[in-house]
Structure 1
Amino acid sequence: MKQRILGGGAIVCSAMVMYGWAQSSTSNFNLGNCVGEFAKKLSGRSQAENQAQERCVPITLPKLSQVPEQLSIPSLSRASKVPPAMESMYAELLAQAHASADADRIAEAITIVAGIPKNSQHHGVAQQLQEDWSQELLERATNRYQQADMPMAMTMLNAIPQTSQRYDRATELRDRWQQQTTALDQALAAKDIGDWTSVIAALGTLEGTDLYHSALVQQLLQQATQKRFEPDAALMQLATTAATASSQEIPLSIPSTIPSTVSIDPVPQPTNLVVALDQALEWARPTPVSPSVPSKAPKREAMVNTTHSAIDSLTKGLLQ
């Protein structure tokens, strides 16, 4: 009978503890209040039963976050040790993580060590490896970003876990790089349709960043600048066609000599004339006028006729 009563009291105590654990708002109060309620219902029980209930009175209900440690349940306690078989499995996980890292699969290695719990003796090593590999991923992502390999850079940043100390830095870089990736995608889309003005405008928003100095962006910017200021392709085609057509026209040929059937007599050579010098001087000598005999001034017509006669006589003499 006493065994049954004691068992009943233990059941009541266990029920009170589990009830208080589930109700966090009632944490850290004395269990005697709850026992008093049950004592009213069990007032008809024996004194031995009441003594069994009083054993629960000094027990205080802990906070919800401390329940596993206070109850000392091995499966729930963070301080409990992991069985040797599990520790062996975690040791194998560390070996697999090292192999993945050596094979240049850093993200996979981080995922493997993230599964080792805190109560494992290998947790400290796993945590240090996670930090080292997260830093390496951060450096590799930065290198890919400087090469304008944005998809790979973003993938590496996403592989850094939230439990890593580098997670905040990775989040900051991811947000910044995402905006720059959008600008680069806009420039590439404009290039595909030949909108070189939009290409230059989109790349201009990247100025001052490491991505702006990457080989891809600089080559794209140079190409866009050249295409932007070169002549229109349609006009160049039209000019080329016109030049080709003009070069194919038959030029007008002008002969160097003009044939003619008309005969032209040669120019006669001048002949030497025989001049009687004495006679010419005689003709040219003026007739003296006697001053003593006044004479009337010859008329103008007579003077002209005389001059003409003298010239005719001189000409005839030269031709003879």
Structure 2
Amino acid sequence: MLNKTIRIGTRDSELALWQAHTVQECLENLGHKTELVPVKSTGDIVLDKPLYELGITGIFTKTLDIAMLNDDIDIAVHSMKDVPTALPKGIVEAAILERANVNDILVHKGLDFLNSSGTIATGSLRRKAQWLHKYPDHNVVDLRGNVNTRMQKLTNSNWNAAIFAAAGLERIDLKPENYIDLDWMVPAPAQGAMLVVAKEDDDFCKEALAKLNHEKSEICVHIEREFLRELEGGCTAPIGALAKIEGEEIQFKGVLFSLDGKEKVEVIKKVTVGAEQGLGKICAQEVLNNGGEEVMKEIKTMMK
């Protein structure tokens, strides 16, 4: 059966293609034949509306989901933070690759503005809320498009800086010299991780991809996504989560912010590796009980 060609679906942005090529290389090293099938997603085409206004969870993954269910592709490669916590019926997680840099970074034109007024660009509610929490006097503007487009928009604008995921810029060698690590910012659940999905009934692809799975990364992102799923209930909100394995211990930090960044509910927990079952859910419940429920209600009202 090694003669079956695995068709790899991917978005056609430079970063998405880099991710797909990485998976392609891994599979070919295992002796599989592969073919890349680039597909355009609505998230890439509609650039004039903030993501959360488009009203679709999984806007970047939807097109590939449809292509897979229509049997145009066999597997799809995603930035895991873009993938909804509930996958479509018939599609399953097949591999989570070893996680890259989880941090957000600030690409800037000089840092004098940090102590005065400034304009920061980001399309993410999570980054916006955390930035305003720390710098309440700054102005945050919306920034959309793939990584290259966003970098170009920053260059052509009068903004002071823009926030990016470090992993995305590092993967396609776009990380400039004028950046700082935002290690105080809690990343998006599963940031820096790549997910490969396959059809539930496709044992051939599932077996091939199982060899690419990185167990420690899988444990951490599952905790983060469980935290997200429990909190969101189908609504986009400023949520950050990070699980890390240090020796025999898993350290977890989760945050929920109000849209304006003024309110913050945080949870920090440690458990032994192997005892992480339900950790994301427990931490989310703690956030909801400590004021998070009111914050989520307010967000849902404002998003209507």
TM-score (norm 2): 0.17
The structure carrying a bigger strand percent of its residues is 2
Looking at secondary structure, tell me which structure has more helix per residue.
1
Rg: which structure is higher? 1
Structure with larger RCO (C-alpha < 8 A, sep 6+): 2
